[in-house]
Amino acid sequence: THGTFTLNNGVKMPALGFGTFASEGNPGETYRAAKCALDVGYRHLDCAWFYQNEGEVGEAIKDFLKEQDGKVKREDLFICTKVWNHLHEPEEVEWSLKDSLKKLQLSYVDLFLIHWPIAAERTEDYQPKIGADGKYIIKKALTEDPTPTWRALEKLQDEGLTRAIGVSNFTIPNLQQLLKVARIPPTVNQIEIHPFLPQVDLINFCQKNNILPVAYSPLGSQNQVPSTGEKVSENPVLKSVAEKAGRPLAQILISWGIGRGYPVLPKSSNPARIKSNFEAYVLNDEERKEVDGVAKLAQGGRHDRFVNMKDTFGYDVWPEENKA
Ligand code: A2P
C-alpha cells in the first residue's frame, strides 16, 4: 500500500486518503463513492461539515464495517472532519464536531480541522449567514485572533472526541500566530498542492515546525482550466511521464505528492477511477525530476489555484496572489 505518515502526537495517518466532497451533490453519490473507496482498500476518508454529506459517509462506513464482520474495525479507519467558518465560537466548534459525529455515526474522529482561517456569522439554525452583498459576514475579532476557536479544538481532543487537531488553508502568518498560542500544536495543515501549485515555501515552513502538510486537489482538479489556459491533464510533460510509465496521470500525481513527504486526498465519484487511484505506483528518479520541472515553472510566481473562495467569503485569504 501507500504507507502512513506519523503526526507530531504519534497518531498514524494513511498516506492516501479519499476526498468526499461531491461536486454534483446528487443524493447517494457520496454514499456510493465512499463505500466503493472503502471496498477497494482506502482506510482514510476526508470529510467536512460543509460538504453536507456526512450522513452518507456515515452510512457507507456503517455498511462497510458490518460487511467486514470484524475483519476491518473502526480503529483501522482514519476519519477526518472540519469545522466551517460560521461555527468558530468555542461552543459552536463543539456543536459542529458533535453534529458531524452524529451524522458519521461515530464516537470520535481521528482528526478535526479548522477548515479556513476565517470566522463568520451564523443563523439561528446553524447555517452560514449571508449578507446583503451575497457574501459571508466576517467576524473580525475571531478571524484576527483564532485563539478561542483553537482552545475549543484542544478541549475536544482532551475529551477524546478527536485523536488529533489541525488546520486547513492556513498561510505562514496564520500558522506563526497559532503556534505562539497553541497548548496542543496543530498536527496538519491541509492545503491545495499539485504541480501547478507546488507550495514550496508553505511546505518548508510546515515541515520545519512539525506540521504535516496534507494535499487536497492533488490531481490539480484534472479538468479545471487555470489562468494559463492549460489544464493539468493537458500538460505535455506530465502527459509524457504518464505515457512512458504506462500509468494514468493521476497515479503519477499521487506518487509525486507522497514522495514529496505528505498525504494526498484525491477524490472521484467514478468507481473505476476510485480503484485506479488506489493502485500504488512509485515514480523513479527521472520521472520525479520531470514532474519537479513542471512544479519549478509554477513556482516563479504563477498561482494556479483551483480552490479560492474569496467571492463566496468576501474575504481574501491570499491577497498577495490576486493583485491584478
Ligand atoms: P470524477 O469524479 O469524474 O472521477 P481534485 O481532487 O484534484 O480536485 O480532482 C478531482 C477531479 O478529478 C474530479 O472531478 C474527478 O472526477 C477527477 N478525477 C479523479 N480521479 C481521476 C483520474 N484517475 N483520472 C481523471 N480524472 C480523475
pLDDT in tens, 18-37: 999 987 789 999 999 999 99
Q: For residues 109 and 45, is the Cβ–Cβ distance under 8 A?
A: no
Q: Can you tell me whether residue 313 is helix, strand or coil? A: helix
- Per-residue model confidence (pLDDT) at position 324: 43
Measured distance CA(293)–CA(299) in Å, rounded: 10
Q: Tell me which residue has its CA closest to atom 19 in ligand 1.
A: 268
Q: For residues 58 and 104, is the Cβ–Cβ distance under 8 A?
A: yes
- Per-residue model confidence (pLDDT) at position 114: 98
User: Who's near 289: CB < 8 A, 6+ residues apart?
Assistant: none
β-partners of residue 128 are: 122
- Per-residue model confidence (pLDDT) at position 321: 80
Atom of ligand 1 nearest to the CA of 248: 23
Distance of CA 198 to the CA centre of its chain: 15
Say yes or no: CB of residue 276 within 6 Å of ligand 1: yes
Atom of ligand 1 nearest to the CA of 220: 7
Report CA(306)–ligand 1 centroid distance (Å): 13
Q: Tell me which residue has its CA closest to atom 9 in ligand 1.
A: 221
Q: What is the DSSP letter of 300?
A: T
- Per-residue model confidence (pLDDT) at position 77: 98
Q: For residues 142 and 173, is the Cβ–Cβ distance under 8 A?
A: no
User: Residue 115, annotated ligand binder?
Assistant: yes
Residues of the chain with pLDDT under 70: 300-303, 322-324
Q: Tell me which residue has its CA closest to atom 18 in ligand 1.
A: 268
13-314 has which CATH code? 3.20.20.100
- Per-residue model confidence (pLDDT) at position 225: 82
Exposed, middle or buried, 76 (CB in 10 Å: 0-12/13-18/19+)?
Answer: exposed
Q: Look at the alpha carbons of 24, 225, 313, 263 in this order and tell me if their dihedral is positive or negative.
A: positive
Report CA(266)–ligand 1 centroid distance (Å): 7
Q: Tell me which residue has its CA closest to atom 10 in ligand 1.
A: 221
51 is catalytic: yes
Say yes or no: CB of residue 251 within 6 Å of ligand 1: no
Atom of ligand 1 nearest to the CA of 276: 23
Say yes or no: CB of residue 20 within 6 Å of ligand 1: no
Taking every pair of C-alpha atoms in the chain, what is the biggest distance, in angstroms?
Answer: 57
**Mind listing the pLDDT tens digit for each residue in 225-245?**
877 788 999 999 999 999 999
Q: Which three cell numbers stand for residue 77?
A: 479507519
Report CA(192)–ligand 1 centroid distance (Å): 14
Q: What is the DSSP letter of 75?
A: G
Element (H, E) at 142: helix 140-144
Report CA(277)–ligand 1 centroid distance (Å): 9
| Catalytic residue (one of 51, 136, 216, 315) | 51
Measured distance CA(256)–CA(287) in Å, rounded: 9
pTM above 0.95, yes or no: yes
ipTM for this prediction: 0.97
Q: For residues 254 and 232, is the Cβ–Cβ distance under 8 A?
A: no
